[in-house]
Amino acid sequence: MAKVLMRGNHVVAESAVRAGCRFYFGYPITPQNEIPEYMSERLSNLEGGTFIQAESEVASIHMVIGASMAGGRVMTSSSGPGISLKQEGISFLSALELPAVIVNMTRGGPGLGNIAPAQSDYFQATRGGGHGDYRNIVFGPNSCQELANLTYEAFDLADKYRTPIIMLGDGMLGQMMEPVELPPEIQLKKLPHKDWTLTGAKGRPSRFIRSLILDPTEEEEHNWKLMRKYEKITKEEVRWETFFTDDAKMIVVAFGIAARIAKGAIKRVREEGLKVGLFRPISLWPFPSKAIKDLTKRTKHFFVFEMNMGQMVEDVKLALEGSGEVHFYGRPGGVILTPLEISRVVSSYYYQKRLG
Amino acid sequence: MKKVFSRPKSLKKTPFHYCPGCGHSILHRLIGEVIDDLDLQERVIGVPPAGCAVLAYNYFDIDMGEASHGRAAALATGLKRAMPDRIVFTYQGDGDIAAIGTAETIHAAARGENITTIFVNNGVYGMTGGQMAPTSIPGQKTTTTPGGRKESRDGYPINLSEMLAVAKGSAYIERTAVNSPANILKTKKAIAKAFRVQMEGQGFSLVEVLSPCPTNWKMNSEESWKWIDEVMAIHFPPGVIKDITGDKKDAH
């Protein structure tokens, strides 16, 4: 199939529609406005398509819950401050075991912050984000092509596990244009039947979907049920990429757009003969802990680079369980680094550790 | 022998947990009767709130999807837009609809969402133990207004139904009460009309029901019925607040 040149925000929207998303509820916030704008037109021209620009992020995530209860494939999107507002509904989606895809094109924070690309919402996304004991599947794509592929897949996974999925991008991924091969349109009729939806009690007993479970032992069992689901996801849905790790004396760990920048830096230092590789978690939850630990057979030196003050670095340390030395370099606030800057910091650390 | 009175088909055989004298049990029954009368049991979806009626799905034998506090109108919007041929209603208390869920409700009405809302106004937060509600009337004693609701500190009660009547997308709004047999019959008629407005696709419909909460009002049932007429109804006058349907057959 021919490639098309598309902006990340349009890629995520078009890929969602091709994955069968017929319901989008959102609220404007930069730098993701192209998603609701695209969805407004695309879904209006599609049979069974629904687009609503809601009165708030809070309302939009609860519209998501309603359409998901009805069995629809449904998406919402936002950025930092708006994602904070959606957390109530994300906790409910998890508790109610409803599938949905939520896109966060992250911006600098905290507070209103700015509209520049940042990775400051890693904790919020990977730790659940709202109240209660739950996790979301979180993907951190680093290119428009990967954004297309993972968004497409996210709808199947959300349905399979009946759980919300967070697409954790950033302002750069949302705004940049790249050639993309779009996935084919699925046929809604061929999707597996959902036997839990609220469609009216016709020819079957009535159903209810609730998250209030007053009996603590029953609530505990619900928590364990979610836990068993999360364990299955942890076994089956871990994704990562390695780049020049086979002979690496030092490994850079970065996700999303930061990993893309780090790749450029690694190419530079490789030209100078430094044996540096990259480990890129693609699923941020479940985190590829075992794959990182396996790398300690090769080296003990890990260099974590993030566009924040240090969030994923905690997961790297947990994964290594003390078996490797972790150095962190971060630039928060929406600052975009160049591969040159990273290459300088990486090579300086490399020589400090007398690896070359 | 002819059976003249029985449990509505749309209600489960579960005894209500509500306090003696509470209006919820009466209202549940009325809604069950209307669902039966309109033959909607197989195509209706209810959205219960956070509050005393949070367990409504234990009583209604229909599909129900629980909303978080105040978000019922947004959730119902998602359900209804996904299934326009189904009948979707929310069941919300005053705190749920007129405080935390004000924005969701006003915008659902403004969009003309074709859903029905049953708004149970008893002037207190019942489930949490009787705190001041957005509809507590001036002077009303609650656990957070022990000296009575004072306008200078606590502001004035909100007349949400009148506010919703201003919204262009609302089709039918009526305020009733469940404090006498006559008023209970009026309430049933209003609920039936609100559902019919939705079935005909005319837009947002809402029935506000003044409902007794003897437990938190610290009254017996008889006093609470009287209090609705003599005090509450002054601030929240019963009657049709808006009706664009042109349908007079239910007028009363």
The mean per-residue pLDDT over the stretch A212-237 comes to: 98
The mean per-residue pLDDT over the stretch A61-70 comes to: 98
Question: Are residues A284 and A184 part of one domain?
Answer: no
Question: Are residues A344 and A254 part of one domain?
Answer: yes
In this predicted structure, the answer to whether residue B248 has a pLDDT above a threshold of 70 is: no
What is the pLDDT, as a whole number, of residue B247?
66
CA distance A205 to A203: 7
Contacts of A69 in chain B (CB under 8 A): 45, 65, 75, 78-79
Residues in chain A: 356
Last residue of a domain, one of A236, A261, A281: A236
Question: Are residues A223 and A104 part of one domain?
Answer: yes
Residue pLDDT, tens place only, A127-172: 999 999 999 999 999 999 999 999 999 999 999 999 999 999 999 9
Question: Are residues A188 and A69 part of one domain?
Answer: yes
Q: What is the CATH number of domain B23-243?
A: 3.40.50.970
The mean per-residue pLDDT over the stretch A18-39 comes to: 98
Residue pLDDT, tens place only, A171-204: 999 999 999 999 999 999 999 999 999 999 999 9
Name the residue ranges covered by the structural domains of chain B: 23-243
User: Is A299's Cβ below 8 Å from some Cβ in B?
Assistant: no
Mean pLDDT value across chain A: 97
Residue pLDDT, tens place only, B28-49: 999 999 999 999 999 999 999 9
A300 lies in which domain range? 241-352
Contacts of A65 in chain B (CB under 8 A): 65, 67, 71, 75, 78
Between CA A97 and CA A95, with CA A87 as vertex, the angle to 5 degrees is 20
In this predicted structure, the answer to whether residue A56 has a pLDDT above a threshold of 80 is: yes
Contacts of A20 in chain B (CB under 8 A): none
Residue pLDDT, tens place only, B82-91: 999 999 999 9
Band the pLDDT of A120: cuts 50, 70, 90.
Answer: very high
The mean per-residue pLDDT over the stretch B183-210 comes to: 98
Does residue A87 contact residue A127 with C-beta atoms inside 8 Å? no
What is the pLDDT, as a whole number, of residue B2?
86
Q: What is the domain-level CATH number for residue A17?
A: 3.40.50.970
In this predicted structure, the answer to whether residue B3 has a pLDDT above a threshold of 90 is: no
What is the pLDDT, as a whole number, of residue B4?
87
Cis check for the bond before A286: say yes or no (omega within 30 of 0): yes
**In sequence order, which residues have a C-beta less than 8 Å from that of residue A192 and are 6 or more positions away?**
A159
* Interface of chain B toward chain A, CB-CB under 8 angstroms: 41-45, 47, 50, 54-55, 57, 60-68, 71, 74-83, 86, 103-104, 106-107, 111
Residue A349: Cβ-neighbour burial (10 angstroms; 0-12, 13-18, 19+): middle
Q: What is the domain-level CATH number for residue A296?
A: 3.40.50.920
Which range has the worst mean pLDDT, A209-213, B7-11, B50-54, B167-171? B50-54
The single-letter code of the amino acid at A263 is: K
Count up the domains in chain A and report the number.
2
Band the pLDDT of B249: cuts 50, 70, 90.
Answer: low
Q: Minimal Cα–Cα distance from B204 to chain A, Å?
A: 16
Question: Are residues A166 and A62 part of one domain?
Answer: yes
Percentage of residues in chain A with pLDDT exceeding 70?
100
Percentage of residues in chain B with pLDDT exceeding 70?
98
Band the pLDDT of B250: cuts 50, 70, 90.
Answer: low
Using alpha carbons, select from A102, A111, A160 the residue that is nearest to residue A129.
A102
CA distance A19 to A39: 13
Question: Are residues A46 and A180 part of one domain?
Answer: yes
What is the pLDDT, as a whole number, of residue B87?
98
Question: Are residues A181 and A261 part of one domain?
Answer: no
* Residue of B75, B88, B111, B114 best to disrupt the A interface, most CBs of A under 10 A: B75
Last residue of a domain, one of A202, A236, A270: A236
Does residue A103 contact residue A86 with C-beta atoms inside 8 Å? no
Mean pLDDT value across chain B: 96
Residue pLDDT, tens place only, B85-126: 999 999 999 999 999 999 999 999 999 999 999 999 999 999
Residue A354: Cβ-neighbour burial (10 angstroms; 0-12, 13-18, 19+): exposed
The mean per-residue pLDDT over the stretch A319-345 comes to: 97
Last residue of a domain, one of A236, A262, A294: A236
In this predicted structure, the answer to whether residue B251 has a pLDDT above a threshold of 70 is: no
